[in-house]
Structure 1
């Protein structure tokens, strides 16, 4: 049987790895690093740098594979994501079997944490149809934790709930009822522009926890244009961007 180690690595800062994560990584026979194209080469390089630092003296082999791209033109979002996950699962299966067969420990370094808006566990379920798996999850620092730490704020008001959702949901369905504080992830469209900014504060961050970190906070009405501009400039400069933000209504 293959044991699949899903190791949360925070936001790319090697200091974010827990001792549990380090031990799990060093115990692996094979470490898989996804390559997402030339524009996102930094992501593979950061994972490689973590392996170079932590795997000295370890027998683990590191293999880089090309990650299939999602068909962004598919009008059925859910069907497009399902097809994409199927394609990734096939690549995982083929790579694992080609490298170590049906026995061993395989590690994947997960940006953030496998529990929060990450599909790695769902993809692993698809792999299990072809190769029996034992899945072990090692939690990591999430981008939401890194964001609140960078701004030195709590995520919620006293005794109050907060809601974690996506930019697409915010654009399509508006501000969810029942929560005055929203954490928005997976937003490539600056969906805060669809929100009535009156009385709303935003805490925004890109590359949080990394050397390139950018954080901005203040009234949404004042900051929205600046964030849009800063985001576009940063993406053009680095070739990729990962950002997250919190919105709170007075």
Structure 2
């Protein structure tokens, strides 16, 4: 890597937000992978773990990881109880020192190897947002049964038809944001749960923020149970109608 490239990498800092709830098995692996790929690329970064009162001991594991990797690299910003994905990002960004924010799941469904690709893509056009897409190029979903794939595709198709956001994968949650852009979008959004990701893209369109996409492979969680249930699907449908009526 050239001196110019090293200098460019050091001029930017990337804060990776990891909301967790019952992820004690997955957390050590995802942290190891993030450190591996970020260190290999010589990026300046920090990881903020936002645990929502996990009863399985996730926070205790996080503390051990902080001891292993150092307090400068691993920051712990826990909350007392489960308060929703959107508010977890709001909480995490308050403590972020990076000028770019990466949001991703901690359950190994998002592979950290794509983060350097997000960063590379962002630099090509100084994009405000880079989002991972399961529905372009060689992107895809692995480990889902037919029913879940059908629900995901159906929700995405319905959203595309009603809202026309210009993004192929609205319900994904693996993204890179400029920090000030993310702060603006968070202030604009009213959703707090899983619908938060979808609304972020719609609000980005309203603010004329530039968005690029990178194909990603989404792999169903290895350990633990999915948090997606009937209540989240109902929230999605309700929010979709709200956004259709107000945007």
Q: What TM-score do the two structures reach when normalised by structure 2?
A: 0.30
More strand by share: 1
More helix by share: 2
Q: What TM-score do the two structures reach when normalised by structure 1?
A: 0.30
